[in-house]
Structure 1
Protein backbone atom coordinates (compact mmCIF):
# COMPACT_ATOMS: atom_id res chain seq x y z
CA UNK A 1 0.00 0.00 0.00
CA UNK A 2 1.20 3.50 -0.82
CA UNK A 3 0.84 5.91 2.11
CA UNK A 4 0.02 9.50 1.16
CA UNK A 5 1.46 12.41 3.15
CA UNK A 6 -1.25 15.05 3.44
CA UNK A 7 -1.58 18.54 4.95
CA UNK A 8 -4.40 20.58 6.45
CA UNK A 9 -5.36 21.53 2.88
CA UNK A 10 -6.39 17.93 2.20
CA UNK A 11 -9.21 17.65 4.76
CA UNK A 12 -11.91 16.60 2.29
CA UNK A 13 -9.63 14.01 0.69
CA UNK A 14 -8.83 12.57 4.12
CA UNK A 15 -12.55 12.48 4.95
CA UNK A 16 -13.21 10.64 1.69
CA UNK A 17 -10.59 8.03 2.53
CA UNK A 18 -12.20 7.46 5.93
CA UNK A 19 -15.65 7.14 4.33
CA UNK A 20 -14.18 4.52 1.99
CA UNK A 21 -13.05 2.42 4.95
CA UNK A 22 -9.37 3.41 4.87
CA UNK A 23 -7.10 4.26 7.79
CA UNK A 24 -5.76 7.82 8.09
CA UNK A 25 -3.35 9.11 10.74
CA UNK A 26 -4.39 12.51 12.10
CA UNK A 27 -2.99 15.11 14.50
CA UNK A 28 -4.31 15.97 17.95
CA UNK A 29 -2.94 18.19 20.70
CA UNK A 30 -1.67 15.12 22.61
CA UNK A 31 -0.22 12.61 20.11
CA UNK A 32 -1.01 11.59 16.53
CA UNK A 33 -3.96 9.21 16.21
CA UNK A 34 -4.81 6.39 13.82
CA UNK A 35 -8.26 7.12 12.42
CA UNK A 36 -10.88 4.83 10.93
CA UNK A 37 -14.68 4.92 10.72
CA UNK A 38 -15.77 3.69 14.16
CA UNK A 39 -19.04 2.36 12.70
CA UNK A 40 -17.27 0.23 10.06
CA UNK A 41 -15.93 -3.01 11.57
CA UNK A 42 -13.75 -3.81 8.56
CA UNK A 43 -12.12 -0.38 8.80
CA UNK A 44 -11.57 -0.77 12.55
CA UNK A 45 -9.94 -4.18 12.00
CA UNK A 46 -7.42 -2.45 9.70
CA UNK A 47 -6.34 -0.31 12.67
CA UNK A 48 -5.64 -3.40 14.77
CA UNK A 49 -3.68 -4.91 11.88
CA UNK A 50 -1.62 -1.76 11.24
CA UNK A 51 -0.71 -1.36 14.90
CA UNK A 52 -0.36 -5.05 15.74
CA UNK A 53 -2.75 -4.29 18.59
CA UNK A 54 -4.31 -7.01 20.82
CA UNK A 55 -8.02 -7.48 20.11
CA UNK A 56 -9.04 -7.03 23.77
CA UNK A 57 -7.46 -3.57 23.99
CA UNK A 58 -10.39 -1.14 23.59
CA UNK A 59 -10.28 1.82 21.23
CA UNK A 60 -11.21 5.43 21.92
CA UNK A 61 -13.88 6.98 19.70
CA UNK A 62 -12.99 10.52 18.64
CA UNK A 63 -15.67 13.08 17.80
CA UNK A 64 -15.96 16.56 16.32
CA UNK A 65 -18.76 17.69 18.65
CA UNK A 66 -20.75 16.43 21.63
CA UNK A 67 -23.82 15.71 19.51
CA UNK A 68 -21.99 12.82 17.83
CA UNK A 69 -22.13 10.87 21.12
CA UNK A 70 -25.92 10.78 21.39
CA UNK A 71 -26.45 7.75 19.16
CA UNK A 72 -23.93 5.60 21.01
CA UNK A 73 -23.85 6.22 24.76
CA UNK A 74 -25.83 7.23 27.82
CA UNK A 75 -24.47 10.57 29.06
CA UNK A 76 -24.94 11.39 32.73
CA UNK A 77 -25.30 14.93 34.02
CA UNK A 78 -21.83 14.68 35.60
CA UNK A 79 -20.29 13.57 32.30
CA UNK A 80 -22.01 16.44 30.50
CA UNK A 81 -20.45 18.82 33.01
CA UNK A 82 -16.97 17.44 32.31
CA UNK A 83 -17.52 17.85 28.58
CA UNK A 84 -18.62 21.45 29.05
CA UNK A 85 -15.48 22.27 31.02
CA UNK A 86 -12.75 20.18 29.36
CA UNK A 87 -13.86 19.61 25.76
CA UNK A 88 -12.35 20.16 23.34
CA UNK A 89 -9.28 18.94 25.21
CA UNK A 90 -7.19 16.09 26.50
CA UNK A 91 -9.83 14.29 28.55
CA UNK A 92 -11.25 10.92 27.49
CA UNK A 93 -14.52 9.91 29.15
CA UNK A 94 -15.70 6.30 29.50
CA UNK A 95 -19.49 5.92 29.31
CA UNK A 96 -21.99 3.03 29.18
CA UNK A 97 -22.99 2.11 25.63
CA UNK A 98 -26.53 1.97 24.33
CA UNK A 99 -27.40 -1.67 23.50
CA UNK A 100 -26.12 -2.73 20.09
CA UNK A 101 -24.88 0.75 19.14
CA UNK A 102 -21.11 0.27 19.38
CA UNK A 103 -19.19 -2.62 17.86
CA UNK A 104 -17.62 -5.04 20.33
CA UNK A 105 -14.46 -4.71 18.23
CA UNK A 106 -14.23 -1.10 19.39
CA UNK A 107 -15.14 -1.76 23.04
CA UNK A 108 -13.02 -4.89 23.46
CA UNK A 109 -16.18 -6.78 24.35
CA UNK A 110 -17.19 -4.40 27.16
CA UNK A 111 -20.47 -2.52 27.61
CA UNK A 112 -18.60 0.76 27.88
CA UNK A 113 -16.79 2.95 25.38
CA UNK A 114 -14.38 5.87 25.68
CA UNK A 115 -14.94 9.18 23.86
CA UNK A 116 -12.73 12.20 23.27
CA UNK A 117 -13.13 15.54 21.50
CA UNK A 118 -9.60 16.74 20.64
CA UNK A 119 -8.41 20.33 20.87
CA UNK A 120 -7.09 20.37 17.32
CA UNK A 121 -8.85 22.11 14.44
CA UNK A 122 -7.54 19.69 11.79
CA UNK A 123 -8.66 16.63 13.75
CA UNK A 124 -12.18 17.96 14.20
CA UNK A 125 -12.40 19.05 10.55
CA UNK A 126 -11.38 15.57 9.36
CA UNK A 127 -14.02 13.94 11.58
CA UNK A 128 -16.66 16.30 10.21
CA UNK A 129 -15.55 15.44 6.67
CA UNK A 130 -15.86 11.74 7.48
CA UNK A 131 -19.35 12.31 8.90
CA UNK A 132 -18.92 9.76 11.70
CA UNK A 133 -16.91 9.30 14.89
CA UNK A 134 -13.52 7.75 14.22
CA UNK A 135 -11.43 5.46 16.39
CA UNK A 136 -8.25 7.22 17.43
CA UNK A 137 -5.55 5.12 19.12
CA UNK A 138 -2.00 6.46 18.95
CA UNK A 139 -0.54 6.07 15.46
CA UNK A 140 2.42 3.88 16.40
CA UNK A 141 3.28 0.21 16.40
CA UNK A 142 1.59 -1.27 19.48
CA UNK A 143 3.80 -1.06 22.55
CA UNK A 144 6.23 1.49 21.15
CA UNK A 145 6.59 5.20 22.07
CA UNK A 146 3.67 7.26 20.86
CA UNK A 147 4.17 9.58 17.84
CA UNK A 148 4.33 13.34 18.36
CA UNK A 149 5.18 14.22 14.74
CA UNK A 150 4.01 13.02 11.34
CA UNK A 151 7.56 11.74 10.77
CA UNK A 152 7.18 9.41 13.76
CA UNK A 153 3.97 8.07 12.21
CA UNK A 154 5.69 7.61 8.85
CA UNK A 155 8.42 5.60 10.57
CA UNK A 156 5.88 3.11 11.96
CA UNK A 157 3.02 3.21 9.47
CA UNK A 158 4.43 3.84 5.99
CA UNK A 159 2.97 1.19 3.68
CA UNK A 160 0.39 0.08 6.28
CA UNK A 161 -2.21 2.87 6.08
CA UNK A 162 -3.73 5.07 3.37
CA UNK A 163 -2.54 8.50 4.54
CA UNK A 164 -0.92 10.67 7.22
CA UNK A 165 -1.98 14.28 7.81
CA UNK A 166 1.02 16.40 8.83
CA UNK A 167 0.06 19.24 11.16
CA UNK A 168 3.45 19.71 12.83
CA UNK A 169 4.50 18.52 16.29
CA UNK A 170 1.87 18.00 18.98
CA UNK A 171 1.69 20.38 21.93
CA UNK A 172 1.19 18.11 24.98
CA UNK A 173 3.12 15.01 24.00
CA UNK A 174 1.34 12.33 26.06
CA UNK A 175 -2.08 10.80 25.65
CA UNK A 176 -5.21 12.20 27.27
CA UNK A 177 -6.41 11.59 30.81
CA UNK A 178 -8.95 8.75 30.88
CA UNK A 179 -11.74 8.98 33.46
CA UNK A 180 -14.33 6.23 33.92
CA UNK A 181 -17.76 7.78 34.35
CA UNK A 182 -19.58 4.46 34.00
CA UNK A 183 -18.85 3.44 37.59
CA UNK A 184 -20.38 4.76 40.83
CA UNK A 185 -17.29 6.80 41.68
CA UNK A 186 -15.44 8.65 38.89
CA UNK A 187 -12.12 6.87 38.43
CA UNK A 188 -8.97 7.92 36.56
CA UNK A 189 -7.61 4.96 34.55
CA UNK A 190 -4.81 6.84 32.75
CA UNK A 191 -3.15 10.10 33.86
CA UNK A 192 -2.77 12.99 31.46
CA UNK A 193 -2.87 16.78 31.29
CA UNK A 194 -6.24 16.96 33.08
CA UNK A 195 -5.47 16.23 36.73
CA UNK A 196 -7.33 14.50 39.54
CA UNK A 197 -7.69 17.82 41.37
CA UNK A 198 -9.18 19.51 38.31
CA UNK A 199 -11.73 16.72 37.94
CA UNK A 200 -12.65 16.84 41.63
CA UNK A 201 -13.00 20.62 41.56
CA UNK A 202 -15.27 20.39 38.52
CA UNK A 203 -17.46 17.52 39.73
CA UNK A 204 -17.53 18.47 43.40
CA UNK A 205 -17.04 14.82 44.40
CA UNK A 206 -14.13 12.48 45.14
CA UNK A 207 -12.39 11.14 42.05
CA UNK A 208 -10.38 7.94 42.55
CA UNK A 209 -6.97 7.69 40.90
CA UNK A 210 -6.56 4.04 39.93
CA UNK A 211 -3.53 4.57 37.72
CA UNK A 212 -0.58 2.30 38.29
CA UNK A 213 2.58 1.23 36.55
CA UNK A 214 1.43 -2.37 36.96
CA UNK A 215 -0.58 -4.09 34.22
CA UNK A 216 -3.99 -5.63 34.80
CA UNK A 217 -4.34 -9.41 35.00
CA UNK A 218 -4.00 -11.44 31.80
CA UNK A 219 -7.61 -12.66 31.97
CA UNK A 220 -9.09 -9.18 32.47
CA UNK A 221 -10.22 -6.90 29.63
CA UNK A 222 -8.89 -3.39 30.30
CA UNK A 223 -11.38 -0.52 30.23
CA UNK A 224 -8.82 1.90 28.81
CA UNK A 225 -5.72 1.73 26.60
CA UNK A 226 -2.35 1.44 28.33
CA UNK A 227 -3.57 -0.60 31.30
CA UNK A 228 -2.69 -4.17 30.33
CA UNK A 229 0.01 -4.49 27.70
CA UNK A 230 3.57 -3.26 27.38
CA UNK A 231 3.41 0.35 26.25
CA UNK A 232 5.56 3.30 25.24
CA UNK A 233 8.77 1.23 25.18
CA UNK A 234 11.64 1.53 22.69
CA UNK A 235 13.81 -1.48 21.92
CA UNK A 236 16.73 0.12 23.79
CA UNK A 237 17.01 -0.27 27.56
CA UNK A 238 15.37 2.61 29.46
CA UNK A 239 16.25 3.32 33.11
CA UNK A 240 14.64 5.99 35.29
CA UNK A 241 16.68 8.10 37.68
CA UNK A 242 16.04 10.67 40.38
CA UNK A 243 17.60 14.13 40.17
CA UNK A 244 19.27 13.54 43.56
CA UNK A 245 21.22 10.64 42.00
CA UNK A 246 22.43 12.64 38.99
CA UNK A 247 26.08 12.88 40.03
CA UNK A 248 26.23 9.18 40.96
CA UNK A 249 24.79 8.38 37.54
CA UNK A 250 27.38 10.60 35.85
CA UNK A 251 30.19 8.53 37.38
CA UNK A 252 28.98 5.27 35.83
CA UNK A 253 27.93 6.52 32.38
CA UNK A 254 29.43 4.64 29.45
CA UNK A 255 30.18 6.03 25.99
CA UNK A 256 27.06 4.36 24.55
CA UNK A 257 24.74 5.69 27.28
CA UNK A 258 22.63 8.84 26.95
CA UNK A 259 20.66 10.94 29.41
CA UNK A 260 17.29 12.61 28.95
CA UNK A 261 16.87 15.26 31.64
CA UNK A 262 15.79 18.78 32.43
CA UNK A 263 18.24 21.57 31.65
CA UNK A 264 19.30 22.15 35.26
CA UNK A 265 20.13 18.46 35.70
CA UNK A 266 22.10 18.35 32.44
CA UNK A 267 24.07 21.39 33.65
CA UNK A 268 24.83 19.79 37.03
CA UNK A 269 26.00 16.60 35.29
CA UNK A 270 28.04 18.68 32.79
CA UNK A 271 26.84 16.58 29.88
CA UNK A 272 27.65 17.34 26.25
CA UNK A 273 25.01 17.69 23.53
CA UNK A 274 26.00 14.25 22.24
CA UNK A 275 25.33 12.70 25.67
CA UNK A 276 22.00 14.34 26.43
CA UNK A 277 18.47 15.19 25.31
CA UNK A 278 16.93 18.28 26.87
CA UNK A 279 13.60 17.87 28.61
CA UNK A 280 13.46 21.65 28.99
CA UNK A 281 12.78 23.61 32.14
CA UNK A 282 9.14 22.83 32.95
CA UNK A 283 6.97 19.75 33.41
CA UNK A 284 5.14 20.68 30.22
CA UNK A 285 8.45 20.83 28.30
CA UNK A 286 9.46 17.43 29.65
CA UNK A 287 6.16 15.77 28.73
CA UNK A 288 6.27 17.24 25.23
CA UNK A 289 9.78 15.87 24.65
CA UNK A 290 9.59 12.41 26.27
CA UNK A 291 8.43 10.29 23.33
CA UNK A 292 10.41 12.29 20.79
CA UNK A 293 13.63 11.61 22.70
CA UNK A 294 12.91 7.92 23.18
CA UNK A 295 12.16 7.53 19.48
CA UNK A 296 15.31 9.41 18.45
CA UNK A 297 17.66 7.29 20.55
CA UNK A 298 15.88 4.06 19.64
CA UNK A 299 17.01 4.67 16.05
CA UNK A 300 20.62 5.45 17.05
CA UNK A 301 22.46 2.17 16.52
CA UNK A 302 25.35 2.91 18.89
CA UNK A 303 23.13 3.73 21.89
CA UNK A 304 22.45 0.89 24.32
CA UNK A 305 20.94 2.54 27.43
CA UNK A 306 18.71 5.61 27.82
CA UNK A 307 18.60 7.14 31.31
CA UNK A 308 15.57 9.39 31.84
CA UNK A 309 15.01 11.75 34.74
CA UNK A 310 11.79 11.33 36.71
CA UNK A 311 9.65 14.42 37.24
CA UNK A 312 7.96 15.82 40.31
CA UNK A 313 4.66 13.87 40.60
CA UNK A 314 2.42 16.92 40.44
CA UNK A 315 0.12 18.02 37.63
CA UNK A 316 1.17 16.61 34.28
CA UNK A 317 4.35 15.30 35.94
CA UNK A 318 2.29 12.33 37.08
CA UNK A 319 1.45 11.50 33.46
CA UNK A 320 5.13 11.85 32.52
CA UNK A 321 6.20 9.42 35.26
CA UNK A 322 3.44 6.97 34.31
CA UNK A 323 4.61 6.79 30.68
CA UNK A 324 8.27 6.71 31.71
CA UNK A 325 7.74 3.83 34.15
CA UNK A 326 6.02 1.80 31.45
CA UNK A 327 8.79 2.65 28.96
CA UNK A 328 11.42 1.51 31.48
CA UNK A 329 9.55 -1.56 32.68
CA UNK A 330 9.84 0.07 36.13
CA UNK A 331 13.66 -0.18 36.08
CA UNK A 332 15.27 2.49 38.27
CA UNK A 333 18.88 3.55 38.69
CA UNK A 334 20.30 2.75 42.10
CA UNK A 335 23.75 3.25 43.53
Structure 2
Protein backbone atom coordinates (compact mmCIF):
# COMPACT_ATOMS: atom_id res chain seq x y z
CA UNK A 1 0.00 0.00 0.00
CA UNK A 2 1.38 3.43 -0.97
CA UNK A 3 1.48 6.49 1.23
CA UNK A 4 -1.39 8.07 -0.70
CA UNK A 5 -3.67 5.09 -0.08
CA UNK A 6 -2.65 5.03 3.59
CA UNK A 7 -3.52 8.72 3.99
CA UNK A 8 -6.86 8.15 2.30
CA UNK A 9 -7.61 5.21 4.60
CA UNK A 10 -6.62 7.26 7.66
CA UNK A 11 -9.06 9.99 6.63
CA UNK A 12 -11.70 7.36 6.02
CA UNK A 13 -11.27 5.84 9.47
CA UNK A 14 -11.96 9.27 10.96
CA UNK A 15 -15.17 9.43 8.92
CA UNK A 16 -16.07 5.90 10.00
CA UNK A 17 -15.69 7.03 13.61
CA UNK A 18 -18.19 9.81 13.00
CA UNK A 19 -20.64 7.26 11.61
CA UNK A 20 -20.10 5.00 14.62
CA UNK A 21 -20.84 7.90 16.96
CA UNK A 22 -24.15 8.41 15.19
CA UNK A 23 -23.63 12.05 14.27
CA UNK A 24 -27.11 12.92 12.93
CA UNK A 25 -27.26 13.83 9.26
CA UNK A 26 -23.56 14.49 8.91
CA UNK A 27 -22.18 11.41 7.13
CA UNK A 28 -24.06 9.60 4.37
CA UNK A 29 -23.04 5.97 3.78
CA UNK A 30 -23.54 6.24 0.03
CA UNK A 31 -20.50 4.33 -1.21
CA UNK A 32 -21.23 0.88 0.16
CA UNK A 33 -21.88 -0.47 -3.36
CA UNK A 34 -19.69 0.35 -6.36
CA UNK A 35 -21.14 2.64 -9.01
CA UNK A 36 -21.38 0.10 -11.84
CA UNK A 37 -23.40 -2.25 -9.63
CA UNK A 38 -25.70 0.59 -8.57
CA UNK A 39 -26.44 1.31 -12.24
CA UNK A 40 -26.62 -2.22 -13.61
CA UNK A 41 -30.12 -2.82 -15.02
CA UNK A 42 -31.32 0.65 -13.92
CA UNK A 43 -29.39 2.70 -16.52
CA UNK A 44 -28.38 1.95 -20.08
CA UNK A 45 -24.81 0.68 -20.61
CA UNK A 46 -24.12 3.77 -22.77
CA UNK A 47 -24.69 5.93 -19.68
CA UNK A 48 -21.26 4.93 -18.38
CA UNK A 49 -19.73 7.17 -21.08
CA UNK A 50 -20.57 10.33 -19.13
CA UNK A 51 -17.46 11.70 -17.34
CA UNK A 52 -19.15 13.12 -14.23
CA UNK A 53 -22.00 10.91 -13.02
CA UNK A 54 -23.51 11.42 -9.56
CA UNK A 55 -23.76 8.29 -7.44
CA UNK A 56 -27.41 7.14 -7.50
CA UNK A 57 -27.26 6.57 -3.75
CA UNK A 58 -26.38 10.24 -3.15
CA UNK A 59 -29.35 11.39 -5.22
CA UNK A 60 -31.62 8.92 -3.44
CA UNK A 61 -30.49 10.06 0.02
CA UNK A 62 -31.13 13.72 -0.82
CA UNK A 63 -34.54 13.00 -2.35
CA UNK A 64 -35.69 10.86 0.58
CA UNK A 65 -34.45 13.42 3.11
CA UNK A 66 -35.86 16.61 1.62
CA UNK A 67 -39.00 15.59 -0.32
CA UNK A 68 -42.19 13.58 -0.03
CA UNK A 69 -43.73 11.34 -2.73
CA UNK A 70 -45.33 13.33 -5.52
CA UNK A 71 -43.15 16.42 -5.05
CA UNK A 72 -41.10 18.03 -7.80
CA UNK A 73 -37.34 17.48 -8.04
CA UNK A 74 -35.14 19.43 -10.46
CA UNK A 75 -31.59 18.94 -11.73
CA UNK A 76 -30.41 21.89 -13.87
CA UNK A 77 -27.21 20.07 -14.90
CA UNK A 78 -28.79 16.68 -15.38
CA UNK A 79 -26.19 14.76 -17.39
CA UNK A 80 -27.55 11.25 -18.01
CA UNK A 81 -30.46 11.94 -15.65
CA UNK A 82 -29.37 10.26 -12.41
CA UNK A 83 -31.26 12.70 -10.16
CA UNK A 84 -34.52 12.64 -12.10
CA UNK A 85 -34.45 8.87 -12.68
CA UNK A 86 -33.95 8.23 -8.97
CA UNK A 87 -36.73 10.74 -8.24
CA UNK A 88 -39.22 8.91 -10.44
CA UNK A 89 -38.17 5.55 -8.99
CA UNK A 90 -39.00 7.03 -5.56
CA UNK A 91 -42.43 8.22 -6.68
CA UNK A 92 -41.49 11.87 -7.23
CA UNK A 93 -41.74 14.05 -10.34
CA UNK A 94 -38.37 14.76 -11.91
CA UNK A 95 -37.35 17.59 -14.22
CA UNK A 96 -33.90 17.74 -15.76
CA UNK A 97 -32.09 20.26 -17.95
CA UNK A 98 -28.96 19.22 -19.86
CA UNK A 99 -26.81 21.42 -22.09
CA UNK A 100 -25.35 18.70 -24.34
CA UNK A 101 -27.88 16.88 -26.59
CA UNK A 102 -25.86 13.65 -26.39
CA UNK A 103 -26.32 13.34 -22.63
CA UNK A 104 -29.94 14.57 -22.78
CA UNK A 105 -30.67 11.73 -25.23
CA UNK A 106 -29.15 9.20 -22.83
CA UNK A 107 -31.18 10.71 -19.97
CA UNK A 108 -34.34 10.21 -22.03
CA UNK A 109 -33.34 6.56 -22.56
CA UNK A 110 -32.88 6.12 -18.81
CA UNK A 111 -36.29 7.68 -18.15
CA UNK A 112 -37.89 5.20 -20.56
CA UNK A 113 -36.02 2.34 -18.89
CA UNK A 114 -37.33 3.39 -15.47
CA UNK A 115 -40.87 3.65 -16.85
CA UNK A 116 -40.61 0.16 -18.32
CA UNK A 117 -39.29 -1.06 -14.96
CA UNK A 118 -42.41 0.16 -13.17
CA UNK A 119 -41.23 3.46 -11.65
CA UNK A 120 -44.21 5.17 -10.03
CA UNK A 121 -43.07 8.76 -10.62
CA UNK A 122 -42.60 10.74 -13.80
CA UNK A 123 -39.66 12.58 -15.33
CA UNK A 124 -38.89 14.84 -18.27
CA UNK A 125 -35.60 16.07 -19.71
CA UNK A 126 -35.12 19.44 -21.43
CA UNK A 127 -32.13 20.34 -23.59
CA UNK A 128 -30.84 23.86 -23.07
CA UNK A 129 -28.63 26.28 -21.14
CA UNK A 130 -29.58 26.40 -17.46
CA UNK A 131 -28.25 29.94 -17.17
CA UNK A 132 -31.63 30.88 -18.68
CA UNK A 133 -33.54 28.46 -16.47
CA UNK A 134 -36.70 30.52 -15.66
CA UNK A 135 -37.32 31.09 -19.37
CA UNK A 136 -36.43 27.52 -20.32
CA UNK A 137 -38.96 25.79 -18.07
CA UNK A 138 -42.77 26.22 -18.12
CA UNK A 139 -44.04 29.10 -16.00
CA UNK A 140 -46.29 26.78 -14.00
CA UNK A 141 -43.17 25.29 -12.39
CA UNK A 142 -42.26 28.60 -10.72
CA UNK A 143 -42.56 28.28 -6.96
CA UNK A 144 -43.31 24.54 -7.20
CA UNK A 145 -39.92 22.78 -6.93
CA UNK A 146 -39.37 21.10 -3.56
CA UNK A 147 -35.76 20.10 -4.17
CA UNK A 148 -32.94 20.88 -6.58
CA UNK A 149 -30.10 18.35 -6.71
CA UNK A 150 -27.07 18.90 -8.93
CA UNK A 151 -23.28 18.97 -9.15
CA UNK A 152 -20.99 21.36 -11.03
CA UNK A 153 -18.32 19.97 -13.39
CA UNK A 154 -14.83 19.49 -11.95
CA UNK A 155 -12.91 20.86 -14.91
CA UNK A 156 -12.90 19.58 -18.51
CA UNK A 157 -11.46 16.15 -17.75
CA UNK A 158 -12.21 13.59 -15.05
CA UNK A 159 -10.46 10.37 -14.09
CA UNK A 160 -12.64 8.32 -16.45
CA UNK A 161 -11.96 4.64 -17.00
CA UNK A 162 -8.65 2.87 -17.54
CA UNK A 163 -8.17 0.65 -20.60
CA UNK A 164 -5.24 -1.25 -22.10
CA UNK A 165 -4.90 -1.73 -25.88
CA UNK A 166 -4.63 -5.51 -26.05
CA UNK A 167 -3.44 -8.84 -24.62
CA UNK A 168 0.12 -7.54 -24.21
CA UNK A 169 -1.25 -4.92 -21.81
CA UNK A 170 0.49 -1.92 -23.27
CA UNK A 171 0.23 1.67 -22.06
CA UNK A 172 -2.87 2.42 -20.03
CA UNK A 173 -5.17 4.99 -21.62
CA UNK A 174 -8.23 6.94 -20.50
CA UNK A 175 -11.73 6.68 -21.93
CA UNK A 176 -15.01 8.38 -20.96
CA UNK A 177 -13.21 11.25 -19.24
CA UNK A 178 -14.20 14.38 -21.21
CA UNK A 179 -17.32 16.43 -21.82
CA UNK A 180 -18.33 16.73 -25.45
CA UNK A 181 -18.88 20.38 -26.35
CA UNK A 182 -16.04 22.88 -26.10
CA UNK A 183 -18.45 25.60 -24.89
CA UNK A 184 -19.49 23.52 -21.85
CA UNK A 185 -18.89 25.32 -18.52
CA UNK A 186 -16.46 22.52 -17.68
CA UNK A 187 -13.97 24.03 -20.15
CA UNK A 188 -14.13 27.55 -18.69
CA UNK A 189 -11.74 29.07 -16.18
CA UNK A 190 -12.51 28.66 -12.49
CA UNK A 191 -13.80 32.26 -12.32
CA UNK A 192 -16.05 31.75 -15.36
CA UNK A 193 -17.35 28.48 -13.92
CA UNK A 194 -18.16 30.26 -10.65
CA UNK A 195 -20.02 33.05 -12.47
CA UNK A 196 -21.93 30.59 -14.65
CA UNK A 197 -22.91 28.44 -11.69
CA UNK A 198 -24.09 31.53 -9.78
CA UNK A 199 -26.31 32.37 -12.78
CA UNK A 200 -27.77 28.86 -12.69
CA UNK A 201 -28.48 29.09 -8.96
CA UNK A 202 -30.07 32.53 -9.39
CA UNK A 203 -32.39 30.97 -11.97
CA UNK A 204 -33.23 28.19 -9.53
CA UNK A 205 -34.39 30.62 -6.85
CA UNK A 206 -37.78 31.59 -8.36
CA UNK A 207 -38.53 27.91 -9.03
CA UNK A 208 -38.24 26.82 -5.38
CA UNK A 209 -41.38 26.41 -3.33
CA UNK A 210 -41.44 27.91 0.19
CA UNK A 211 -39.21 25.75 2.35
CA UNK A 212 -37.52 24.15 -0.66
CA UNK A 213 -33.88 23.09 -0.64
CA UNK A 214 -30.94 23.03 -3.03
CA UNK A 215 -28.50 20.13 -2.58
CA UNK A 216 -25.17 20.38 -4.38
CA UNK A 217 -22.43 17.78 -4.27
CA UNK A 218 -18.87 18.94 -4.88
CA UNK A 219 -15.26 18.15 -4.08
CA UNK A 220 -11.96 19.92 -4.68
CA UNK A 221 -9.74 18.81 -7.54
CA UNK A 222 -6.24 19.61 -8.73
CA UNK A 223 -5.35 21.48 -11.92
CA UNK A 224 -1.63 21.50 -12.76
CA UNK A 225 -0.96 20.64 -9.12
CA UNK A 226 -3.06 23.51 -7.72
CA UNK A 227 -5.98 22.63 -5.45
CA UNK A 228 -9.25 24.09 -6.81
CA UNK A 229 -11.81 24.69 -4.07
CA UNK A 230 -15.07 23.72 -5.79
CA UNK A 231 -17.09 23.41 -2.53
CA UNK A 232 -16.07 26.95 -1.56
CA UNK A 233 -17.05 28.15 -5.02
CA UNK A 234 -20.48 26.54 -4.66
CA UNK A 235 -21.20 28.28 -1.35
CA UNK A 236 -20.03 31.65 -2.71
CA UNK A 237 -22.15 31.17 -5.85
CA UNK A 238 -25.17 30.36 -3.71
CA UNK A 239 -24.74 33.50 -1.61
CA UNK A 240 -24.36 35.58 -4.78
CA UNK A 241 -27.59 34.03 -6.09
CA UNK A 242 -29.55 34.92 -2.93
CA UNK A 243 -29.24 31.66 -1.00
CA UNK A 244 -27.71 30.67 2.31
CA UNK A 245 -25.95 27.52 3.52
CA UNK A 246 -28.22 25.68 5.97
CA UNK A 247 -26.45 22.33 6.28
CA UNK A 248 -23.21 20.64 5.23
CA UNK A 249 -22.88 16.88 5.07
CA UNK A 250 -20.40 14.30 3.81
CA UNK A 251 -21.41 11.65 1.26
CA UNK A 252 -18.93 8.80 1.20
CA UNK A 253 -17.82 7.51 -2.19
CA UNK A 254 -15.97 4.70 -0.42
CA UNK A 255 -17.34 1.79 1.58
CA UNK A 256 -17.06 1.31 5.34
CA UNK A 257 -16.78 -2.26 6.62
CA UNK A 258 -16.39 -2.92 10.35
CA UNK A 259 -15.09 0.59 10.92
CA UNK A 260 -12.48 0.37 8.15
CA UNK A 261 -12.66 2.24 4.85
CA UNK A 262 -12.67 0.41 1.50
CA UNK A 263 -11.38 2.96 -1.04
CA UNK A 264 -13.05 3.41 -4.43
CA UNK A 265 -10.12 5.26 -6.00
CA UNK A 266 -9.59 5.01 -9.76
CA UNK A 267 -6.32 3.87 -11.34
CA UNK A 268 -5.53 7.47 -12.30
CA UNK A 269 -6.33 8.86 -8.84
CA UNK A 270 -3.92 6.39 -7.27
CA UNK A 271 -1.25 7.08 -9.90
CA UNK A 272 -1.50 10.86 -9.49
CA UNK A 273 -1.24 10.63 -5.70
CA UNK A 274 1.80 8.34 -5.90
CA UNK A 275 3.49 10.69 -8.38
CA UNK A 276 2.78 13.73 -6.19
CA UNK A 277 4.20 12.04 -3.09
CA UNK A 278 7.29 10.98 -5.05
CA UNK A 279 7.75 14.65 -6.02
CA UNK A 280 7.57 15.73 -2.39
CA UNK A 281 3.96 16.99 -2.51
CA UNK A 282 1.96 15.08 0.13
CA UNK A 283 -1.54 14.33 -1.12
CA UNK A 284 -4.29 11.87 -0.24
CA UNK A 285 -7.17 10.11 -1.92
CA UNK A 286 -10.46 11.99 -1.68
CA UNK A 287 -13.10 9.49 -0.58
CA UNK A 288 -16.13 11.70 -0.08
CA UNK A 289 -18.24 14.42 -1.66
CA UNK A 290 -19.19 17.57 0.21
CA UNK A 291 -22.99 17.85 0.31
CA UNK A 292 -23.92 21.53 0.52
CA UNK A 293 -27.56 22.21 1.40
CA UNK A 294 -28.81 25.68 0.53
CA UNK A 295 -32.12 27.50 0.87
CA UNK A 296 -33.44 30.90 -0.12
CA UNK A 297 -32.00 33.54 2.19
CA UNK A 298 -34.35 35.52 4.42
CA UNK A 299 -33.76 38.60 2.26
CA UNK A 300 -34.67 36.69 -0.90
CA UNK A 301 -37.81 35.37 0.75
CA UNK A 302 -38.80 38.86 1.87
CA UNK A 303 -38.41 40.10 -1.74
CA UNK A 304 -40.58 37.24 -2.95
CA UNK A 305 -37.52 35.57 -4.56
CA UNK A 306 -39.20 32.19 -4.45
Structure number having the greater helix percentage: 2
Question: What's the TM-score once normalised by structure 2's chain length?
Answer: 0.29
Structure number having the greater strand percentage: 2
